[in-house]
Structure 1
Amino acid sequence: MPVPRQARPAAEVTSHIWPSGGRHLWASGGTSAAQTHARGHLVYAASGILAVHTERGTSIVPANRVAWTPAGFTHDHRAHGDTDMRIVFLAPSHARLLPERPAVFLASGLAREVLLALTGPGNYDDATPGYRRPARVRLLRVLVDELREAHEQPLHLPEPRDDRLRAVARMLYETPADNATLAELGRTIGASPRTLSRLFHTELGMTFYEWRTQLRVYHALVLLADGRDTTQTAHACGWANPSGFIAAFRAIIGTTPGRYRADRWAPPRSRSSFAR
């Protein structure tokens, strides 16, 4: 990231794991080791932002998304901003109702509350009875039904395989504000713009400009989590003015950067503390 981070108080590293799920509170920049699970699982960031990486690419999971990773997919997580990550494992009877590939869904208000309930202290505190099995099964079915009715809304950065695309991606990851055209980037790596354009379509399923916009919004989410304001973030990610950034951000995330940033750090009851 070319822009230095602003200091933010580090969160206490806390972890609770139980057979049906788990909860991690990570300081910004925390990462997990690559891992594979025998059951598929959902992850949700009650605060902060998660990046979920699999062989298919990287999905960014802000507060209004839920990420699904099926059983058997190797994956790792990275936290941007102090992040409260919730995990719910699904039995095969529920997992079969979701895609057989990694996916990211728009999270309804009900889905978020169910996720918080299924991963709250009643699940791991011996002094609290928590949800008994019949109630948990009902909540899981509600959660899966909510996700099945939701549209998939990934902020997904597919992983390039072609060496030429990898070179372009590496340059733009390092300098997301670079406004070089595809022809200019092609001259740098020794590939024609027509070849690169074809590779973006066939390998990544999007145009170069769509991919770069996704990349820039990803970097914008990281900067907003680090406390940058809308204008600073717009310029750092390559937009000439905040209005263009706001329009692109709203088209992908579904809200404005200012509202997103305010909601991220506001203390409503569902995000007020780790004691939830």
Structure 2
Amino acid sequence: MSPRPSPPSPGLVDARALPRYAAGAFPVPFVIQSMSERVEQDTVWQEHSHPTHELIWHENGASSATVGRRRWTITRSMGLWIPAGTPHSGRMPAGSTYRAHQFSVSATPALAAEAVGIELTPLLRLLLERLGENGLADASRALTEEMVLDVMRPSPRRLLLELPQSPLLRPIADRCQDSPSDTTTLAEWSSLLGVSSRTITRSFLAETGVGFSQWVATAKAQHAIAALTRGESLDDVAEQVGYASASAFSTAFRRVTGTSPGRFRTGG
């Protein structure tokens, strides 16, 4: 009988420093190279870049990746493509299992000029899992790699947060990220900052592409995903992110992510 994996150790942080490489900084002897890892502690990857393109997704759990001013959420159903040479950092809660695939710059086309979300369809997931098998014959590997490149496409859906930088919006962004249970309304922020609600709304649209309410809901959903990954109850998660009930939280979560908290937890 195989030994059971040790339980994760939340609260302890594994800080990882990786080098920065330019795209194609050195040749690699593969088309697609795959690896997976279950992190036993909360893990932070400091900003780094790869000489290869990278696709990251989860077998279970979730993580966040920051690319420039954008903070992406990576799940079982939504991966992230990061072009070679693109600086990025990451954060992952204990107990999560992720898969990372490195794509040779010389052997594969760039899927996009910047980071994009990739929907992990059942077919794409099966193909990528096959590339992780030991002893896969060269001909089978080459065929599988061709199929991966054929079916992998950027997704119109994405779970990301564009981080505002202006002095006007930073207090709002900082409060939402540091205290996700905060329920300060647009009108209340207008009074606190001494500007009109319309000014705040226009600033959010200009800096992030979405309005105040949608930005706040997405920030709360990102916090909720981490809590759901830790196995916390819907009632507790709803309270942590400032919703009066689990049903109100579920409605908002579905609006942002396209799935319910329960389906997300089970990987559906």
Matched residue of 2:225: which SS?
helix
Distance of 1:165 and 1:131 partners within structure 2: 54
The amino acid that maps onto 1:167 is: P
CA deviation map 1:170-189 (0-9, x unaligned):
01111212221123224334
Q: CA offset at residue 77 of structure 1?
A: 1.7
**1:232 alignment partner in structure 2:** 236
Q: CA offset at residue 10 of structure 1?
A: 1.6
**1:75 alignment partner in structure 2:** 88
Distance of 2:131 and 2:170 partners within structure 1: 40
Q: 1:262 to 1:215 in 2, by over 3 A?
A: same
Distance of 2:212 and 2:232 partners within structure 1: 27
Distance of 2:232 and 2:99 partners within structure 1: 25
1:212 aligns with 2:216: yes
Q: 1:249 to 1:141 in 2, by over 3 A?
A: farther
1:51 aligns with 2:64: yes
Q: How does 1:244-259 map to 2 (within 5 A)?
A: 244-259=248-263
Q: CA offset at residue 135 of structure 1?
A: 2.8
Distance of 1:95 and 1:229 partners within structure 2: 43
1:142 aligns with 2:143: no
Once structures 1 and 2 are overlaid, which stretch shifts more, 254-263 or 70-79?
254-263
**2:99 alignment partner in structure 1:** 86
Check the 8 A contact 1:43/1:66 in 2, yes or no: yes
Q: How does 1:7-46 map to 2 (within 5 A)?
A: 9-10=7-8, 20-46=33-59
CA deviation map 1:26-73 (0-9, x unaligned):
124211121111221101111221211110311001111111001121
Matched residue of 1:73: which SS?
coil
**2:136 alignment partner in structure 1:** 130
How many residues get paired? 244
Once structures 1 and 2 are overlaid, which stretch shifts more, 254-263 or 67-76?
254-263
Residue 187 (structure 1) aligned to one of 186, 191, 195: 191
Matched residue of 1:53: which SS?
strand
Check the 8 A contact 1:21/1:88 in 2, yes or no: yes
What is the aligned-residue identity percentage? 25
**1:270 alignment partner in structure 2:** none
**1:261 alignment partner in structure 2:** 265
1:241 aligns with 2:241: no
Q: CA offset at residue 211 of structure 1?
A: 0.6
The amino acid that maps onto 1:143 is: V
Check the 8 A contact 2:83/2:110 in 1, yes or no: no
> Structure 1 stretches of 5 or more lacking a match?
1-7, 123-128, 265-276
Q: TM-score, normalised by structure 1?
A: 0.79
1:153 aligns with 2:157: yes
Q: 1:171 to 1:145 in 2, by over 3 A?
A: same
Q: CA offset at residue 138 of structure 1?
A: 2.4
Check the 8 A contact 1:88/1:119 in 2, yes or no: no
The amino acid that maps onto 1:241 is: S
The amino acid that maps onto 1:136 is: R
Matched residue of 1:249: which SS?
helix
Matched residue of 1:34: which SS?
strand
Q: CA offset at residue 206 of structure 1?
A: 0.4
Q: TM-score, normalised by structure 2?
A: 0.81
**1:125 alignment partner in structure 2:** none
Check the 8 A contact 2:60/2:267 in 1, yes or no: no
1:98 aligns with 2:103: no
**2:20 alignment partner in structure 1:** none
> Structure 2 stretches of 5 or more lacking a match?
1-5, 15-28
